[in-house]
Amino acid sequence: MATIKRRQLLSLAGAGTVLGLSACAAPARTPSTGPTGAARVVVVGGGYGGATAAKYVRLLSQYKLDVVLVEPDADFVSCPLSNLVVGGSRTLGDITRSYAGLTARHGVRVVRDTVTAIDARQRIATLATGAALHYDKLVLSPGVEMMWDEVAGLRAASREGRILQAWKAGPETGALRRQLEAMPDGGVFAIAIPEAPYRCPPGPYERASVVAAYFKAAKPRSKVLILDANEDVTSKGALFKQAWAESYAGLLEYRPQHKASAVDAATNTLKFEIQDDVRADVLNVLPPMRAGAIAVQTGLANANARWCNVNWLNFESTAARHIHVIGDAIQIAALMPKSGHMANGHAKVTAAAIVAELNGWEADPAPMLTNTCYSFVDAERVVHVASVHAYAAAERTFKPVPGAGGLSAAPNARETAYAFDWARSIWADMLE
C-alpha cells in the first residue's frame, strides 16, 4: 500500500458535523483496522452491489483500506424472494439480514444515513445529517428511482399508499400482501410492467405467477391481469407461459403492448396510451425506472438521462473520476440483466480494480461476470436463466459468452432448493 495517501475528513462550509474516524463504533472483531493514513473508500447504498463492494474492498486490500458504507435502512431486505412474501409463502423476516457482520467480521464502518450530495471535484459526500465524508474512491450503488411522472397520478397514489410498487423490498412488500389478503374472492389483481430496461426483467412475471398460485388456493374466483408495455414477456417467456397455461388457465391473463399512461386512484383505474381503461381491486403499477436519485443529481446519468455509463474494466463513471457506479444504476451492456447477482459481480470487479489502482498495480484486463436468476411460478416450482459475460477488449464492453449458461427445461420442484441456496449463499457473500 505504498502509494496510498492519507486523506483527511473535511467538513463542508456550514455543513455541520465532520464525521471522524472515531464517529462509528469500532468493529468488535476486526482482522486489522488498517494503518493510520489508509485511503478511504466510501460506498453509497448497502444493497446487492454496495454491501458486496464494501466487504470485498476490505478483503482484497487485506483490511488495509478504510471502508465506510452509508445506507439509510437499519437492515438489508432482499428483493430476490420478496415475491414470495407477496404470494404469502414467506415473511419479511425470512428475507431480512443484519449489516452487523460487515462491521464485526470485516471492519466496514456502517453509517445509517443518506448521501444527499457528492462533490466529485473535492471528493466529498455529504450526508443528510450534515456530516461530510472525504473519499479517495466512491462506489455508488443506489439502485433505481421510479420515474413517477411518466404515469400521471401515480406519484400521489403511491405516496398515499393506494397504488403500490413494492419494487424495493421492505414495508411496501408487506403492504401489498395485506391488500391482496383484504381483496374479496372474485376480485382482480393487475400488475403493470414498464418498457425494458427496468429492475429485474422476470420479477413482474414471477410476482403475477405467485399471486395466481395464492388465488388458486385461497380465492379461486379471482383473476390476475398482466399489463405489459413490452411486446412480449421480457425474460424466461416460454417457461412462464408454460406455467400459466398448465396451472393458471382462466385465472391469469397476459396482455402485451399495454403501456400505462395514467392512474385514477379514486376508482383504482389504469389508463393506457391506446387500449381501454382497466379497473382492478388491487393495482401494482411499475413506472419506468432510472438510476437512483443521487446518481442522477450528481450528473452521472449520462445515458438517455436515465442510466450511468461506466468504463467496464473498473466501473468508473465516464462522467466523473474516482466515482464507480455499479448495480441497477448503470447503462447495461448487451444482454446484461439488472439483477442482484450481476450487482454482486460488478462489485467484485470494482473492488479488485480499486485495490489494484490504490496499490499501483495493473487492473485485471479481462474480467468476467456471471448471472443466475431463479423465478418461482408457485411456492414449490422454479425456473432459472443463467449467463456468463466476458470483457471484450476490442469493443471495450462485456459480451455474453456463446454456449455458456442456459435455461431450465421446464418449471420444476428440484430447483426450488437451489433457489433458496442461491439466496443464502449470496447473502453470506455480501454480508458475512
Ligand X SMILES: Cc1cc2nc3c(=O)[nH]c(=O)nc-3n(C[C@H](O)[C@H](O)[C@H](O)COP(=O)(O)OP(=O)(O)OC[C@H]3O[C@@H](n4cnc5c(N)ncnc54)[C@H](O)[C@@H]3O)c2cc1C
Classify strands 269-272 and 278-279 as parallel, antiparallel or unpaired.
antiparallel
**What are the residues facing 262 on neighbouring strands?**
152, 271
Beta carbon of residue 382, minimum distance to ligand X (angstroms, whole number): 10
Query: With binding defined as CB under 6 A, does residue 47 bind ligand X?
Result: yes
Q: How many residues does the chain have?
A: 432
Strand partners, 41: 67, 137
- Residue window 355-374: x/- pattern of binding to ligand X, with contact defined by CB under 6 A: ------------------xx
Q: Is 203 in the site for ligand X (CB under 6 A)?
A: yes
Which of 27, 46, 87, 194 touches ligand X (CB under 6 A)?
46
Window 220-279: residues binding ligand X (CB under 6 A): none
Q: Enumerate residues 6+ apart whose C-beta is below 8 A from 99.
A: 46, 51, 69, 71, 75, 76, 110, 431
> Is residue 48 part of the contact set for ligand X (CB under 6 A)?
yes
Give least dist CB 381 to ligand X, A: 15
Question: Is 82 a residue that touches ligand X (CB under 6 A)?
Answer: yes
User: Using CA atoms, how far apart are residues 383 and 236, in angstroms rounded to an integer?
Assistant: 8
**Judged by CB under 6 A, does residue 197 bind ligand X?**
no
- Asked whether position 345 contacts ligand X by CB under 6 A, the answer is no
Using the rule CB under 6 A, which residue among 61, 103, 114, 298 binds ligand X?
Answer: 114
Could you say whether residue 79 binds ligand X (CB under 6 A)?
yes
Residue 45 C-alpha from the chain's centroid: 10
Question: What distance in Å separates the CA atoms of residue 9 and residue 402, rounded to the nearest whole number?
Answer: 47
Binding segment for ligand X (CB under 6 A), chosen from 4-12, 137-145, 152-160, 231-239, is 137-145
- CB neighbourhood size of 122 (10 A): 11
* Residues in region 287-316 near ligand X by CB under 6 A: 292, 294
Nearer to ligand X, 222 or 387 (CB): 387
**DSSP sequence for 6-71:** -----PPTT---B--TTSSPPPTT-S----TT--EEEEE--SHHHHHHHHHHHHHTTT-SEEEEE-
Handedness of CA 93, 173, 140, 354 (dihedral sign): positive
341: contact with ligand X by CB under 6 A: yes
Shortest Å distance, C-beta 395 to ligand X: 24
Report how far residue 181's alpha carbon sits from residue 230's, in angstroms, rounded to the nearest whole number: 29
Nearer to ligand X, 27 or 203 (CB): 203
Residue 142 contacts ligand X per CB under 6 A: yes
By CB under 6 A, residue 141 contacts ligand X: yes
If one counts every other C-beta atom within 10 angstroms of the C-beta of residue 71, the result is: 24
Residues that bind ligand X (CB under 6 A): 44-50, 70-73, 79-80, 82-83, 114-115, 141-143, 167-168, 199-200, 203, 292, 294, 327-329, 338-341, 343, 373-374
